[in-house]
Structure 1
Amino acid sequence: MTSLIIDTDPGVDDAFALALACASPEIDLLAVTTVFGNASLETTTRNALRVLALCGRTDVPVAMGAERPLVYPQVHEAELVHGSDGLSGRAHLLPSGGAAPVEADAVELMARLLRAATEPVTIVPIGPLTNVALLLAAHPGLRGKIERLVVMGGAVSGGNTTARAEFNLWSDPEAAHRVLVEERVPTVLVPIDLTFQCMVERPWLDRLAAAGPLGETLVGLTADYVAHYTAFFGKECTILHDAIAVAEAIRPGLLRTRTYPVEVDCAFGPSRGALVVDRREPEIIATFGSKLARSLEIAVETDVDEVREFLLARLAG
């Protein structure tokens, strides 16, 4: 069984990701920690609690984390994609009762759980990397308790928030640099190049909605999200970015990776927040070297139909 902590900023695709973890019997979901990102920290925390209540998992502790980036303010949230409440304006479809956040903050709770763990823990950050950067900075002795990080973020070929940057890395580039470049914790990065491959269209959503109350409620949260991606791709569809990362955490190897030297651009220019990837052939890099600081496992391909069916089977119960 995989012990899992999800660090999240719900977010429509985050809601699917949380539900996927709750629906997977091989996962021991130790905690959910929240961060600013798609909406304010207060909103993302409320959404996480309500999604867990929907899934019947009010036993999972939820801790509030960073409400802003490490250094500079976040320029904007993702209201145009995720709606005014992070859930297409439909958070009211979720149960309003359930547990409250624990008194410990996100870093404190993660540190406590890692210390107590008898086996290494997988952490899945699917929002800005601020909480994870703070954890690794404040508790360096706990690195060995982390099995791996499965990070949803970054763009190899082109961004979704700027021409170069993906939203999670762009929201806190300094934290992303700390985690992805400066640290040496085993990490798999799931970029939007891969998650875009796994788009789901209306028939998939209809199958999920028809499967039962959980699927019907999750699909009910997607209206603004689907509208955004329908305009983006020119066909009715959506991208469940964060659920793809959680799927890899549940079933290691579901996504095929390749190791590349990487950097995160923290300069104030058109590429701020961009993931810089040295995609030259290994022989060329071995001959000429790379000026990029760290080599990272990046998910580059998968069996798309297998991923879609895996998500559908778990979420449909």
Structure 2
Amino acid sequence: MSPLIIDTDPGVDDAFALALACAAPGVDLIGVTTVFGNVGLATTTRNALRVLALCGRDDVPVAAGAERPLVHPHQHRARHVHGTDGLSGRSGTLPERATGVAGVDAVSLLVSLLESAPSPVTVVAIGPLTNIALLLAAHPAVHGKIARLVVMGGALAGGNVTAAAEFNIWSDPEAARRVLVEESVPVTLVPMDLTTRCAVDGPWLDSLAAAGPRGAALVSLTAAYREHYARSLGRDGMVIHDAVAVAEAVKPGLLHTTAMPVDVDCGFGPGRGGVIADRRPARQPDDRREVDVALSADLDQVRAFLLSHLAD
């Protein structure tokens, strides 16, 4: 079993991502940490607990992390996309978990899980990167226990919060730059350029809802999110960004990646939070760190993979 940790800010697509991590064969979900993002920290933490309860995973330790960015205030949440409670107003319909949060903060739990893991751990970061930046900065001794960091974030060709920036990176650009540019842990970046192309449609969601109680419960959380994406996409459907990143984590190679240097705009102009990728094929060699950026995939294969495991 491959050990996996998820750092998350649920969020509708985070709920699908957590459910996928619980259902995927060959994966041992050993911990979940929460961060501010789509809604405030108390709400993201409650949502994570309840989604895990839906999946029958009262055993997975959950710890709450950063409630604000490293440096500058967070300007707004994504309630207009995910609903006021992060789950289209439906979080209260999910079961309460028998076990609550761990008695430690997120970074402490991450350190403990990494140090005690018998083999290197894949860490999937599907919210703002504040917890991960704090972990890597304060605990360099655990770097070698991270097999790979899979990050859902960034936009190479236009964002969803601003013309330049995707929500997760924009929420804490300084943390994102620390993780993507300044550290040496292997990173696979899954940007919204690809996750948006993996959007699922109404029939896909209907198939998931018809598959069983868990699938029906997940689809029941999507009303506000689905309405937002119906306007954005111009059709019935939605983008489950974070589940695509988890799919790559549990099935390496599902997404096709290209190694390239990236940077994060931490200025205060219109580009703040934007990910700048150096995609020049003939660039001169230099000492910049490269990350693996997921640029393409067999989209039907990705959707089929998600449905087959979420419907189990």
TM-score band w.r.t. shorter chain: over 0.9
Map 1:14-163 to 2 at 5 A.
14-163=14-163
* Counterpart-to-counterpart distance in 1, 2:197 and 2:63: 32
Q: CA RMSD in A?
A: 1.0
31 and 97 in structure 1: CA distance in 2 versus 1, 3 angstrom threshold:
closer
* 1:140-194 Cα deviation digits (max 9, x unpaired): 1110110000000000111000000000000000000000000010000000001
Q: 1:12–1:86: 8 Å Cα contact kept in structure 2?
A: yes
Displacement, 1:118?
1.7
| Matched AA of 2:208 | L
* Counterpart-to-counterpart distance in 2, 1:297 and 1:169: 16
* Counterpart-to-counterpart distance in 1, 2:307 and 2:173: 33
Corresponding residue for residue 309 of structure 1: 304
Q: 1:263–1:294: 8 Å Cα contact kept in structure 2?
A: no
* Counterpart-to-counterpart distance in 2, 1:25 and 1:18: 14
Displacement, 1:293?
4.1
* Counterpart-to-counterpart distance in 2, 1:221 and 1:294: 39
* Counterpart-to-counterpart distance in 2, 1:9 and 1:161: 16
* Counterpart-to-counterpart distance in 2, 1:84 and 1:293: 41
Q: 1:50–1:98: 8 Å Cα contact kept in structure 2?
A: no
Map 1:193-204 to 2 at 5 A.
193-204=193-204
* Counterpart-to-counterpart distance in 1, 2:185 and 2:240: 25
| Matched AA of 2:280 | R
SS across alignment from 1:285 = coil
* 1:81-122 Cα deviation digits (max 9, x unpaired): 000000011112211242110011100000011111121000
Displacement, 1:294?
2.8
1:285 aligns with 2:283: yes
Q: Matched residue pairs, number?
A: 312
Displacement, 1:249?
0.5
* Counterpart-to-counterpart distance in 1, 2:259 and 2:174: 22
| Matched AA of 2:141 | G
* Counterpart-to-counterpart distance in 2, 1:44 and 1:219: 18
Q: 1:152–1:241: 8 Å Cα contact kept in structure 2?
A: yes
If the length of structure 2 is used for normalisation, what is the TM-score?
A: 0.98
* Counterpart-to-counterpart distance in 1, 2:296 and 2:25: 25
* Counterpart-to-counterpart distance in 1, 2:97 and 2:35: 21
* Counterpart-to-counterpart distance in 1, 2:199 and 2:171: 23
Displacement, 1:25?
2.3
Q: 2:58–2:97: 8 Å Cα contact kept in structure 1?
A: no
Map 1:244-263 to 2 at 5 A.
244-263=244-263
* Counterpart-to-counterpart distance in 2, 1:159 and 1:233: 14
* Counterpart-to-counterpart distance in 1, 2:62 and 2:206: 31
* 1:229-286 Cα deviation digits (max 9, x unpaired): 11011101100100000000100000000011210000011000000011111xx202
Q: Which runs of 5+ in 1 are unaligned?
A: none
* Counterpart-to-counterpart distance in 2, 1:19 and 1:126: 13
| Matched AA of 1:247 | A
Q: 2:52–2:97: 8 Å Cα contact kept in structure 1?
A: no
* Counterpart-to-counterpart distance in 2, 1:294 and 1:264: 13
Corresponding residue for residue 294 of structure 1: 289
SS across alignment from 2:280 = coil
Corresponding residue for residue 175 of structure 2: 175
Displacement, 1:63?
0.3
* 1:45-71 Cα deviation digits (max 9, x unpaired): 000000000000011000000000000
Q: 46-55 vs 18-27, which deviates more?
A: 18-27
If the length of structure 1 is used for normalisation, what is the TM-score?
A: 0.97
* Counterpart-to-counterpart distance in 1, 2:230 and 2:23: 28
* Counterpart-to-counterpart distance in 2, 1:140 and 1:242: 26
Corresponding residue for residue 218 of structure 1: 218
Displacement, 1:296?
1.3
Displacement, 1:307?
0.7
| Matched AA of 1:143 | H
